[in-house]
Structure 1
């Protein structure tokens, strides 16, 4: 009986174990299904996240394209224009400005409905007055006898002249003037009889020879050709056509030859410009492409560039254009050989490398441009006015406001003559804003989608952070590199008209002409007067090409242009020879 009970218990235990195993198997099966479901959810979440990232990128591109095609430009957007000009806003004002800017179109529609058919008048634009010097030539046209006197309504009789009314108009006409150069001709004393093959008359020319010896064109005209091409962006072939229409056929080859001879003679002066550049406390640098067709007699396969350097110090400001074969750190360092001071540039890696390694004996405080750092965030705000990037755009604008106010205080004598006091105050005022910007960047880089415009903008700032916040240490520095970009713009605009240089020699000549013309512009003197003065004085006997300091008086901030201005007045006052009936035949000569 006892054995039977034991067998029954064993049987029941076996069934319970089987049920337990079955339940465990079911549990494990459910766990596997849950894990599969979790994995499926994770995969779907990843797909959703990926699609959202793609959607956000495409939305950014779409909004940016829409803004570029149909939206307001930064010049017409009150909010962005104020930020660029350095207006100071707080956060609430930024939001309201953005909201009002985005609602402009709706406001216009509402106003148009209210106005009905009434024409909306634009605000009157203040007229820009034309001011000419008192010695400007004037022609008087008297129309007194061309007008029929009106009839007086009261008396029925013709009115009489009781005074005059005058208006001034401005006209411009290209004027060709012939310069007659007279030189003494020498011969033997009276009574001397020369032999048959003996030359007994001699023409003695001045010791100071012209750069364009024997050329039929005077220096003023060559200077105008240079100004027309490198400041007014008029290619040589168009100038050739213009002169030909006016009866003065000048070939493009001759113009190119004159420019090349001029550039060759200015090599010592260019070396002096570079010497003065490297003596400055601050150099702003930028670069742009310079296309060259032929190199060493073959089709060029090298990407060339034009490097623009603007130096600033207490006594002067100088700009130098250089045709360069590369943007590498080694090539850029050769343009800064031995320089010790601050260098403001964009984010090109070559600048960072040369500053970090001290290439070519440089000792550089590297500065970076906030205008470049701000650009990606401004684009995002333009595409999406509600973007969080408006905060960092606003903070960067505060830096410009501080700079503007401090420069005004300096001009008013608040800091006396102490540059260090100015720098210390600027460091004090900008430090809290730098801290706030850095905190914003550190937080948002963690949530920015990799590869998005936001992530690229933040990474740009973080990679250059030390250089971005160093400009307060240098008195002449500003938050951006716009000074160099302003001098880069004329070259870029000119290249749209002549597209390329034929050879590297022509490219180097262009760099020389841009340097000369833009330095005259930078020193607030007439560019044509300055170039004319160089053409007349580069070849004088006191110049020694081996001693570049002998060209010191030809620098634009030192040069005297009185003789050039007097000559121009004589040209303007010139009149035809009324006794001459035959046309002039102009050729080259000895002088």
Structure 2
């Protein structure tokens, strides 16, 4: 079969898989991250076909083909210049040619990670006149006492594992290709030691965030391998985040995580000791425990409109749901107002909300009460409306304070990498536990 037909068949199959992922039945749909993978395959296959076409029938070009959207290479990257001179600079009349202009192009070059060995020498000095004058500078402290890695090496292992989701055994394989043999268990020892040494930083960051007047909080399950049982245990990560970009707040964004063996709201109570003011959360009932004045300072819970919207959206996915559709329409109008207020000061945002959002909230409340009276409280629609009514006071808190967001997306973005595929091992989690 001709190669081009094979490529076309491959593209058609990729498009079919992509359409199934996007528009297929609910059980066939995949996670958005898997859709990105499908897109990568399609784009790579298309590029391969174009490359083959260009090899068979080279395009006639007078200028280099510069792709739109490739961006500009950052100025901070080091530049290595290469000059391509003509073979002959002497003209036919014997005169030496001179430069009148030049074409300059830039390409991105990557130097593969280089392993190097830091050799530390500590000379000993002695006095020729006596036997007691020997001096030697003490060795610098090492993160892994008696071990081979530098702090930069350990940091690279941690970033690769927890930011790039590259398991330790794969890192071990990458090192082995360079002739550097470190067992996975050795890398795990480094990670555990680093986790212990980072505890003071974790504590300082947590204490700093809790001085803020507004924070976001969310939690997500973290499957942990349970050696010997052939399955995983469910543990949890809790995230406490600050992000004041939407109202140009003075504090930089930040997030701190903690690991717990359970999902009890008591963990939130413990995590928030010393914090007071406004906490953005979803509808998890465990957060109600932080409202007990015996456990925490005064806290106001600002609930998430995105979660309220989701309850209504789920009703419309596979059914005709006029009540839910009307609710979605009204919520969309609120979000349109928010998009115009984004980036303004807290005072300006509050003024816009009082002028434009408050009347729509009042109309939404009337619609909510009326709709609840028309449906059974135990029906899917009734349950969705009950959810919104239950958290109403926290949902409308954004009207009175320009710092408050309508949703908790700021913390969900920070916790999404964990939910999408953070594979962790029990020893490291034990070292991180607080």
Q: With structure 2 as the length reference, what TM-score do the two structures score?
A: 0.73
Instruction: Show the counterpart of 1:217.
Output: 149
Deviations 1:410-467 (A, max 9, x none): 3xxxxxxxx4564354234322111121222222223335544322221110111111
Instruction: Show the counterpart of 2:116.
Output: 178
1:483 aligns with 2:392: no
1:169 aligns with 2:107: yes
- Per the TM alignment, residue 501 of structure 1 is displaced from its structure 2 partner at its CA by 2.5
SS in structure 2 opposite 1:478?
A: coil
1:189 aligns with 2:127: yes
CA contact (8 A) 1:283 1:311 kept: yes
Instruction: Show the counterpart of 2:332.
Output: 397
The CA distance in 1 between the partners of 2:309 and 2:271, in whole Å, is 28
Q: Which has the higher contact order (CA 8 A, sep 6+)?
A: 1
Alignment of 1:80-479 (within 5 A): 126-138=68-80, 140=82, 142=84, 165=103, 167-192=105-130, 203-205=136-138, 209-294=141-226, 303-312=234-243, 314-355=250-291, 357-383=292-318, 387-410=322-345, 419-420=346-347, 422-449=349-376, 451-479=378-406
**Change in 2 beyond 3 A, CA 1:492/1:180:** same
- Structure 1 runs (4+) deviating above 6 angstroms are 69-74, 161-164, 297-302
CA contact (8 A) 1:330 1:359 kept: no
**Change in 2 beyond 3 A, CA 1:501/1:456:** farther
Aligned residues: 364
CA contact (8 A) 2:398 2:406 kept: yes
For structure 2, the residue ranges without an aligned partner over 5 or more in a row are 1-22, 33-66, 88-98, 244-248
- Per the TM alignment, residue 367 of structure 1 is displaced from its structure 2 partner at its CA by 0.9
- Per the TM alignment, residue 265 of structure 1 is displaced from its structure 2 partner at its CA by 1.5
- Per the TM alignment, residue 330 of structure 1 is displaced from its structure 2 partner at its CA by 2.0
The CA distance in 2 between the partners of 1:190 and 1:72, in whole Å, is 77
The CA distance in 1 between the partners of 2:353 and 2:195, in whole Å, is 43
**Change in 2 beyond 3 A, CA 1:365/1:193:** closer
Q: Which has the larger radius of gyration?
A: 1
SS in structure 2 opposite 1:185?
A: coil
- The equivalent position to 2:426 in structure 1, one of 480, 490, 502, is 502
CA contact (8 A) 2:312 2:381 kept: yes
Q: With structure 1 as the length reference, what TM-score do the two structures score?
A: 0.55
The CA distance in 1 between the partners of 2:31 and 2:204, in whole Å, is 42
* Structure with the largest fraction of helix: 1
The CA distance in 1 between the partners of 2:433 and 2:403, in whole Å, is 26
**Change in 2 beyond 3 A, CA 1:455/1:163:** same
CA contact (8 A) 1:321 1:511 kept: no
Instruction: Show the counterpart of 1:28.
Output: none
Give me the CA root mean square deviation. Answer: 3.6
**Change in 2 beyond 3 A, CA 1:271/1:162:** closer
Instruction: Show the counterpart of 1:549.
Output: none
**Change in 2 beyond 3 A, CA 1:334/1:72:** closer
For structure 1, the residue ranges without an aligned partner over 5 or more in a row are 1-64, 75-124, 146-160, 195-199, 411-418, 513-591
